[in-house]
Every structure is written in C-alpha cells, then in structure tokens.
Structure 1
C-alpha cells in the first residue's frame, strides 16, 4: 500500500476536493464530480473530507485518496480527524492515507496522539498516516510518533503561525520542514498558483496538494471581485 501510493503521487498534483456545510458547493455528488474533473486534468490523487464524500469520490474515480474528517468538539480547537473515532471511520473506507492534525493543541476528550497512532497501527496496519503540521516542533513530533507522511497543512492556521505562508521568502519554512522531516513531505496550504506548486516539487517535496485555487469557486471569484473593486 505504502509503495503504491508513494509511487503514484511522486512529483505530481493532489487536488483537495472539500466543501463545508456553509459553502455553496457542499454536496458529496458535487465533490465527486470535482474529483472526476481533477482526474481528467491529470491529477494523481485526491484529498477528501468526510466518509460520505470519500465514498462518493471512490465511486467516481480510481485515484488514491488522502482521507480526513473535519469535526468540531467543544473542548478542543483540533478539528482535522481529531479522535480515534474519526480515524477509524475514515480508514474503514479503504483510503490509502488518513490525515490528522498533529499540532501542540489539546485534543478532544483528553485523547493522546501517541495512543491514537498506536491503535491505528494495530487496526489498520496497511493504512498510511499523514501528519497535518503547523510548526517544525510538530514535524519532530510526527517523526517521533512514526507518521508515514508529513504535510504543511496547518502552517498559517494555528495561533502561533497565523498569517504565515510556506511560500514566504522563497519557501524558507518549507525548506526547513524538508530538512527536518524523516519521511516524505507533502506541501499543502495556500499554494494558489501553478508556479508555487512547481516550486514545492523542485525543492524536494514528494507531492503537492492544491485545494481552494482549484475547487473553491467562491474564493476564486471573490479574488477577482476584490481586485476589480
């Protein structure tokens, strides 16, 4: 499983097909068609949120999937596949990779990340685990816990990294992640142009995930409107 996924996406594009309940394209059917469009364009993989979206996408395309489940809990700010419950549910769909938040923030229900990883290794030994990190400290934790992949997903989306961007100063932060990580790095987060995506791969990232710039027309149209106004 690991070898197949890594080979399939190496040096290529993964398209994130996600829409939240408050967004106009919130629909498993629409996300499945987004995934089909990505496949027809030549994407090598899909990143998808929620069991129903994953299953709808699996019915539509044959690309490997990074699965996750965004769930809000009142006792934690962690929302990307935050507990073992969501990890199990996503893995049970048969996705090649399950992604989860790997930041220093407290997890829901007082769960500990090391316990979640250990349990997943027992129950789903063939499923790869991706760490959605925000800082170099997070990358080191991912190394220590034995995650198979490290993503820059949360950089710019936590209190200590708010407003930051992996592309700043010719990708200085991304270069540091590449030097720190012991496993393949997936560049993700605010990669909004083909030039940035290409640069991530040139620097040594295994693959690159692009979402909003491709699959969120509300955001795309807003950029045009703001520029015109």
Structure 2
C-alpha cells in the first residue's frame, strides 16, 4: 500500500485544500468542491486539515489524502499534528498519509520518536510525512524513519523566518536532495507553475501547492498589492 501511494503521487501535483476558521472559505463542503476541481485539473493527491474536511474530501474524490490536524497547545510552537490525540483522529479517517511537524522544537506532549513508534505500531501501512524547516531537521526525520520529507515549515519557524525554499535558486532544496535519500515532496512558497516544474527537475518526488490555487483571498491580495506599486 505504501509503495502504491508513493507511485501514485510520483511526479505529480498535490493540491492543499485548507481554510481555517477565520478564512472566508472555511467549510468542509467548499473544501470538498475544491478537491473535486483539483482532481479534474489533474492533481494526484489532496493535503487537507481536520477530520471534517478529510472526511468530506475522501467522500468526494478518489485521490489519496495527506491528512493533518492543526492544533495549538500552550507552551509549544508545534501545531501540525502535534500529539497522539491528533494522530488517532487522523487514523480514524483512513487517510493514506499523515503529516506532522518534525522539527526539533519543544512538543506539547509525546516526543517525535514516540509518535513515529506509535504510528508504526498501530498503523504500519500509513505513510508518515515529516514537515521540516531545515536540512538538519530533514536529516533528523530521516533517522526516525519517515516515509516522506517536506520543507513545509521552511520560512515559518523562528530559526528560518528569513528563508524561502526558492532563495538562491533553491540551493537549500538542492542540498537537501543531496544529503538525504528519503523521498522529498516540495512544499512551501511554490506559488507558480514555473517553480513547480523547476523543483521537479531538481529531483523531488512530488510538489504541494496550496494558497496559489485554493486561497482566493491571498491571490486577490497579491494582485492588489502589485497593482498599487
């Protein structure tokens, strides 16, 4: 099953269909229709947040899903599938892939090795995707046995807040591809078809694009800001 899923998404576009509670499109129905549109456009998988959205999307499309649950906990900056509670909820949806924060930051409960070990014990057929922010954390995730590594959090942690995956011609991504053998899915700041094509040429397994496709508020803001310059 794991190899089948990896083969299904190889070389393709994963569309992230997410809308948080404070966003205009927050609705499981709307996210499911976004997923239908993505599938019609040629997407190979959907990344999405919350049990409700995953369930709605899996009922609407035949594509594999990358499931996450965003949950804030006091005393920790980790919010992407941070604890066993979120993992249990995701496993109940049947999602093929579970993504989680795999940085070495302070976690609210279980350690990252404990979470990986737990997943392998209770759901050995589910793929684990490490959302990381740096090459060091990519290497760490690989030692823990993650099936997929993605620089999702590059530019979004205190340590990398001034970084962008596209900086200096994707030099950090190139180095990551040299340093680790685990399949890498490019995610974060991939906001044009040209960038998506470029990272595939560099050798990533697949590409995730979110806001540039499924967040019309952000797309509108970019147009407005550029027009004002």
Whole-angstrom distance in 2 between the partners of 1:88 and 1:201: 33
User: 3-state SS of the aligned residue for 1:46?
Assistant: strand
Q: Deviations over 1:77-103 (max 9, x none)?
A: 000000011012112211110000011
Give me the whole-angstrom Cα distance separating, in 2, the residues matched to 1:160 and 1:210.
23
Query: Could you tell which deviates more after superposition, 47-56 or 178-187?
Result: 178-187
Residue segments in structure 1 that go unaligned for 5+ positions in a row: none
Equivalent residue, structure 1, for 2:211 = 212
| Alignment-derived partner of residue 150 in structure 1 | 149
Aligned-partner Cα distance in 2 for 1:215–1:106:
31
Q: Once the 2 structures are TM-superposed, how far is the Cα of residue 163 of structure 1 from its aligned partner? A: 2.5
Shift of 1:17: 0.3
Distance 1:9 1:164 in 2: 27
Q: Counterpart of 2:191? A: 192
SS of the residue corresponding to residue 129 of structure 1 reads: strand
Q: Distance in 1 between matches of 2:176 and 2:200?
A: 13
Q: TM-score, normalised by structure 2?
A: 0.98
Q: Does 1:127 align with 2:133?
A: no
Structure 1 SS opposite 2:161: coil
Give the whole-Å Cα distance in 1 for the aligned partners of 2:77 and 2:66: 22
Q: What TM-score results when the alignment is normalised by the length of structure 1?
A: 0.98
Q: Which 4+ residue blocks in structure 1 deviate beyond 3 angstroms?
A: none
- Partners of 2:176 and 2:29 lie apart in 1 by 36
The equivalent of 1:201 in structure 2 is 200
1:136-182 CA distance string (max 9 Å, x none): 11111111110000001000000010021111111101101111222
Aligned length: 228
Mapped to 2, the partners of 1:135 and 1:226 lie a distance apart of 30
Larger displacement relative to structure 2 (175-184 or 207-216):
175-184
**Equivalents in 2 of 1:180, 1:219: separation in Å?**
34
Deviation of 1:75 (Å): 1.7
Report what 1:95 is aligned to: 95
Report the 3-state secondary structure (helix = DSSP H, G, I; strand = E; otherwise coil) of the residue aligned with 1:160: helix
SS of 1:150 mapped into structure 2: strand
CA shift, 1:35, in A, is: 0.3
Q: Match of 1:89, SS?
A: helix
Match of 1:52 in 2: 52
* 2:174 matched residue in structure 1: 175
Structure 2 unaligned spans of 5+: none
Q: Which residue of 2 aligns with 1:117?
A: 116
C-alpha RMSD of the superposition: 0.7
